[in-house]
Amino acid sequence: MKALWSLLIGLLTLSLAQGVPADWPDPFKMQFQRIQPSAIQPTRVQLSNGLTVLLIEDRTLPFVNGRIYLRAGAIFEPEDKVGLSGIFSSVMRTGGAGERTPDQIDETLETLAASVSVSTDNLFTSVAFSTLTENLDPVLQIWADILVRPRFSQERLDLEKGRALEAIRRRNDQPTQIAVREFVRRINEGHPAGRISSVASVQSITRDDLVAFHQRFFKPNVAVLAVTGDFNTQEMVARLERVLQGWQRGEVTLPSFPPPSPKPSIYFVQKETNQSVIYMGNPTVTAYAPGYSELDLVSRVLGDGFNSRLFTEVRTKRGLAYATGGAQTQGFGWPGFFYGASISRVEKTAEVIELMLAQFRDLRERPVSQEELELFRNNILNAEVFRFTSRQAVAERIARTQMLGLSADYYEQYVRQIQAATPADLQRVMQQYVRPEQFVIVVVGDRRQFDKPLSSLGNLIEVPLE
């Protein structure tokens, strides 16, 4: 084998290029029309109990998919019961519903090769189903039972609490996981989005808490359901009226919270590892505030993909990281944040932090080139066609837009702002909203191998691992 290899290498010279046929175009000069996607509009129906339903028929495959959104986000958990919404969504699905025991539901769904799933994030709890058309009726009934008549079996609650406690035991296993958790926690400090669960908060969760959470938020008149697939719209509406019969309207009041008030510092977690995970940034604006679109655009210049500045400086030019990038997050209800991140070799930790900070500062101090702006603007505009590749994604996006109370042309406004943005606009929003001297910086790494003590870069707070 060795002989074969040296032979091959001996025969091949370093002649890297033979050129291309003379009639091939220069790829940088190839021009293409921007394809304007034809927006798919769902049919909108209101059921007798006030539930809004968005429906798109799609007969290409024998499937029906649906997802209902409710404003039962993690931020509405009681302060001393952080972790409740995650356990709630697990036990809602696994704890039995209507006339069925937990095992009967699992057995029926799996025999029909269908799924019903419940998931929660900061904003919403959603309950989804997916089934072959031929099994629509039984699956829709189970979905409705789980949504409206969950049994929250004590046994399954105990099981999920035990698994949640084990997950807490394991959450310091991976440096990246630690860094993301600490960063989200610090940048949202003072807001419920920054809370994290503890052994005590999980242990305190009772069945009554789950029932109360369900009763408080699960009302049809404040929910939106998106359904797509192989069905007839009128028949589907009749089916939904039938399975959701008895689900009654009600008043839901949502508390409001002050915006996050993070304390700028370098938060350091000691972990024996040969790479440092670095996150840095500050809260900016909500996704519907003036300046958001421009921040989104300039954050792509900073950290989106191979041609972004972080990627070019940290990875391409210096080979200091495999993973690096950044973004402006979408804030709904409270401000999103503008951030950058790197997973970098440990003996260059301080150098990488300074290099990253320099990228943020440069975007404040100098306007981006028109060429750089066009690259990322073109990406956003040309990629618009991908918003319509799946009908279920279209229907779910419209459902969320409605739940968040955004205007129906929210996205069109965003596109108009992206089209109009100038280098001066990007510099203006950077100066207005992104302040490196006030960053929350989280570093997970092994201090014995750092190139410089982190305290030389700013106020240092050591975060112990529980």
Partner 1 sequence: MVWLILLVLLLPGALAQQLREQIRKYTLDNGLRVLMVPDKTAPVIHFNLMFDVGGVDEAPGLGGIAHMVEHMAFKGTPTIGSLDWTKEKAALEAVDKARADLDRAIASRAAQEEIQRLTAAYNQAREEAKKLALPNAIDQLFTNNGEQGLNASTGYDRTDYRVSLPSNRLELYLRVYADVMLNAVFRSFYEEADVVLEERRQRSENDPNGALSEVFLRTAFQVHPYGRPLIGSREEIQGYRVDRAMAFWKTHYHPNRAVLVLVGDVEPERDIQLVRRYMGAIPRGPARPNLNIPAEPPQAAERRATLEYNAQPSLLIGFHKPTYPNRDAYVMDMIDSILTEGRTSRLFRRLVIQEQAALNVSSSSASPGFRYPNMFTISAQPRAPRTTADLERFIYEELERLKNEPVGSQELQKVRNQTRAAYLRVLQGGPGLAQTLAFYELFFGGYQRIFEEEAIYNTITAEEIQQAARRYFTPQNRTVATLVTRGGSR
Closer Cβ to partner 1, 45 or 105, answer by number? 105
How far apart, in Å, are the Cα atoms of 335 and each of 85, 95, 201, 433?
22, 36, 26, 11
Structure tokens given for 30? 């190839």
Identify the residue among 305, 354, 407, 459 touching partner 1 (CB under 8 A).
305
Nearest to 403 by CA among 120, 127, 70: 70
- Shortest gap between Cβ of 16 and partner 1 (angstroms)? 5
- Shortest gap between Cβ of 376 and partner 1 (angstroms)? 7
Closer Cβ to partner 1, 111 or 245, answer by number? 111
Closer Cβ to partner 1, 81 or 348, answer by number? 348
Closer Cβ to partner 1, 131 or 201, answer by number? 131
Work out the angle at residue 203's Cα, subtended by the Cα atoms of residues 202 and 207, and round it to the nearest 5 degrees: 90
Angle between helices 370-382 and 292-303 (to 10 degrees): 110
- Shortest gap between Cβ of 442 and partner 1 (angstroms)? 16
Q: Is 200 in the site for partner 1 (CB under 8 A)?
A: no
Structure tokens given for 58? 């799609």
Q: Is 22 in the site for partner 1 (CB under 8 A)?
A: no
Residue partners of 123: CB distance under 8 A and separation at least 6: 71, 73, 75, 332, 333, 403, 404
- Shortest gap between Cβ of 228 and partner 1 (angstroms)? 11
Q: Is 306 in the site for partner 1 (CB under 8 A)?
A: yes
- Contact string 115-134 vs partner 1 (x = CB under 8 A): ---------------x-x--
Q: Is 161 in the site for partner 1 (CB under 8 A)?
A: no
**Which of the ranges 181-189, 193-201, 354-362, 380-388 carries the binding residues for partner 1, by CB under 8 A?**
380-388
Backbone angles phi, psi at 23, to 5 degrees: -90, 5
- Shortest gap between Cβ of 199 and partner 1 (angstroms)? 12
Identify the residue among 48, 248, 369, 378 touching partner 1 (CB under 8 A).
378
The neighbour count for residue 270, using CB atoms within 10 Å, is 15
Q: Is 136 in the site for partner 1 (CB under 8 A)?
A: no
**Dihedral sign (CA 22, 27, 28, 33):** positive
Q: Is 322 in the site for partner 1 (CB under 8 A)?
A: yes
Identify the residue among 234, 248, 369, 382 touching partner 1 (CB under 8 A).
382
Closer Cβ to partner 1, 190 or 305, answer by number? 305
- Shortest gap between Cβ of 33 and partner 1 (angstroms)? 6
One-character DSSP codes across 387-451: GGS-HHHHHHHHHHHHHTT--TTHHHHHHHHHHH--HHHHHHHHHHH--GGG-EEEEEE-GGG-S
Q: Is 315 in the site for partner 1 (CB under 8 A)?
A: yes
Look at the chain and count its residues: 466
List residues bridging with 338 in a β-sheet: 282, 328
Identify the residue among 46, 59, 137, 170 touching partner 1 (CB under 8 A).
170
Closer Cβ to partner 1, 95 or 283, answer by number? 95
What CA–CA distance (Å, rounded) separates 236 from 303?
44
- Contact string 384-403 vs partner 1 (x = CB under 8 A): xxx-xxxx------------
- Shortest gap between Cβ of 200 and partner 1 (angstroms)? 17
Residue partners of 417: CB distance under 8 A and separation at least 6: 293, 294
Closer Cβ to partner 1, 322 or 410, answer by number? 322
Q: Is 35 in the site for partner 1 (CB under 8 A)?
A: yes
Q: Is 254 in the site for partner 1 (CB under 8 A)?
A: no
List residues bridging with 225 in a β-sheet: 53, 68
What CA–CA distance (Å, rounded) separates 290 from 421?
12
Beta strands 321-328 and 337-345 are antiparallel
Please, which of residues 56-115 interact with partner 1 by CB under 8 A? 60-63, 94, 103, 106-107, 110-114
**Which of the ranges 54-62, 196-204, 255-263, 434-442 carries the binding residues for partner 1, by CB under 8 A?**
54-62
Structure tokens given for 453? 């003590």
- Shortest gap between Cβ of 156 and partner 1 (angstroms)? 9
How many Cα atoms sit within 13 Å of 396 on the Cβ side?
18
